[in-house]
Amino acid sequence: MIVPSRLLGDLLEQIDQKRAAHLALDFARHVLDLERDEIEEAVSVACLEYMDAAHEAIGLESAVSRLLEAEERLRAVAQRRTGNRFFLAGGADFTMDAARVGAGSMLDRAHGRGPSSHPSCLSVARQLQAEAGRWAAQHRPAGADERLAARRARWEEARWQVRHVIASEPNPHGDA
């Protein structure tokens, strides 16, 4: 049996960091689209703007002002408080993690922070598979098994990710 999550790991080991950074953002956009109806519109718009700015910054290999401004707007609309803890509203947390795959070091430098670790494309992909499973379990039909709905959704998300990696792989021999 083919296990998409393992196949994804094998595929992601073979690609360069810049491409992995773009893929992480694509994976996040896919899950954001899945959950769009439940995410506040202002948060959804800010997430999409941040992803676009991160794609641009990764392409330029520089934290452009657009990225810093989009990050600030996303935090402003998504930050919530529970007791003495802050968290980000739905969609914003995995959007920021996906952007950190390729833009984390740029953001650290722009904010005057020292070097820190940033998630890998694979860890973000797995986080998003789990998020798709969580969402499916919450939205399963009445009487459907929660764990089975979550497992199916995680598997489907991993399959979509594998397909996306392959479909977006440039032909090393040029365009046909």
- Bridge partners (DSSP) of residue 80 are 87
Lowest-pLDDT choice from 30-34, 43-47, 60-64 = 60-64
pTM value is: 0.91
Sequence ranges of the domains in the chain: 4-167
| Residue recorded with tokens 């973000």 | 124
d(CA 12, CA 63): 24
DSSP state of 22: H
Amino acid type, 109 = R
Q: HEC profile for 107-144?
A: HHHHCCCCCCCCCCHHHHHHHHHHHHHHHHHHCCCCCC
pLDDT of residue 82: 59
Segment 38-58 mean pLDDT: 93
Give me the sign of the Cα torsion angle 151, 155, 156, 160.
positive
| Residue recorded with tokens 């489907």 | 156
Q: Is the pLDDT of residue 86 over 80?
A: no
Q: How many other C-beta atoms can be found within 10 angstroms of the C-beta atom of residue 123?
A: 13
**What pLDDT, in 10s, does the model give residues 92-113?**
889 999 999 999 888 888 888 8
**What pLDDT, in 10s, does the model give residues 128-154?**
999 999 999 999 999 999 999 999 999
pLDDT interval class at 87 (50, 70, 90): low
